[in-house]
Chains A and B, each alone.
Chain A
Amino acid sequence: MPISDDEAKITLERLRYMPNTIRISIGGYGTFTRDQLINEVNNRSEIGATIIETQMSYVRSFKPKV
């Protein structure tokens, strides 16, 4: 699924809010710092796309069900 600029911006804001000491394990992709993930999102890499997907899935879970 294509990633919109808005989705990337929302994800970047969520990541920038995190402390720089944080590390995130993403299965076999490895472990990443906050700044490494920000780069992945900016580059729209496979890892960046996956982290965007996790954050948008979570944000959308707050959308009221009709």
Chain B
Amino acid sequence: MPADKFSFLITRPDFDDTTAYCLAWSGQLINEANDRGFAILDLRKEKATLEEFEGRMKLPAVIFVMLNGHGTLFTVEGDKGSMLLEYGKNEHLTKGKIIFARSRYSLEKLGGSCAQSGALGYVGYSRPFFFVLDSAQGAHPLNDELAKPCFIASNLVALSIIKGQAISEAVRKSREESEKLKAHWQTRPEIEAPLVASFISWNSNCLDFCGSPEAKLQY
């Protein structure tokens, strides 16, 4: 494939525990995209601003966009509450791209609007994304066994899309993996295991997509 023609844009703000975990767990996705020849556009920490985001989104080479950050029904945010993608404002920038938002609530309103504005597909969560943090591992998100299953299931969406699978297949695989992880955590001895299992299940139930089920990256 003419790999250098295609870019993976990822936003990774880092100003609280939630965004710090999302930043760390997105490293796996960057590595996979890099291995497959994508150019990586990484809006990390304070670079996750509207100006930087819109500038990258205008590049036709950007075909897959992953947004880590807080959100609402109508927005996905970047660094410290700065708006990146907003209903009625800049959804047109998603035209021809696939979006995956690891952000609460944005699927229905913002995702639907992006799909209507020409996005190939928008995968996201209809409700808050939950995970458990082990306080003892606070400085090392990748070593946090309690947070790990929720991120494994979520990351599988992006990994599947990067590998060229349709967004419906990416969501199906994530749900399937969630069922396995939930079953595993239902039998784990840790006292926190029931809560971890409940959040794996919740996140999976809240994951869905807007746009054509067959939408996939064309490279």
Residues of A bordering B, CB below 8 Å = 14, 17-19, 21-31, 50, 54-55, 57-58, 61
**With A22-B195, A27-B103, A31-B133 given, can you name 7 additional A-B contacts, CB distance below 8 Å?**
A22-B132, A23-B132, A24-B131, A25-B132, A28-B72, A54-B198, A58-B198
Q: How far is the CA of A14 from the CA of B105 in the complex (A)?
A: 25
A18-B195, A24-B195, A27-B105 are contacts. A58–B202 as well, Cβ < 8 Å? Answer: yes
**A58 to B201, Cβ gap below 8 A?**
yes
Give the distance to chain B from A9, nearest Cβ to Cβ, in Å.
Answer: 16
B132 contacts across to A, CB distance below 8 A: 22-25
A23 and B130 contacting across the interface, CB-CB below 8 Å: no
Binding stretch for chain A, among B15-23, B158-166, B211-219:
B15-23
User: In the complex, which residues of chain A have a beta carbon less than 8 angstroms from the beta carbon of B18?
Assistant: 25, 27-28, 30-31
B175 within 8 A of A: no
How many residues of B are counted as interface, with CB atoms below 8 angstroms from the partner's CB atoms? 35
Hey, which chain A residues are within 8 Å of B129, CB to CB?
A: 25, 27
Residue of A nearest to B205 (CB): A57
In the complex, are the beta carbons of A27 and B202 less than 8 A apart?
no
Q: Is residue B96 within 8 Å, beta carbon to beta carbon, of the partner chain?
A: no
Contacts of B97 in A (CB 8 A): none
Inter-chain contacts of B194 with A (CB < 8 A): 14, 17
Within 8 Å by CB of B201, from A18, A28, A31, A57, lies A57
Q: Are A31 and B17 touching (Cβ within 8 A)? A: yes
For A26, list chain B residues within 8 Å (CB).
Answer: 128, 130
Q: Which residues of B contact A29 (CB under 8 A)?
A: 128
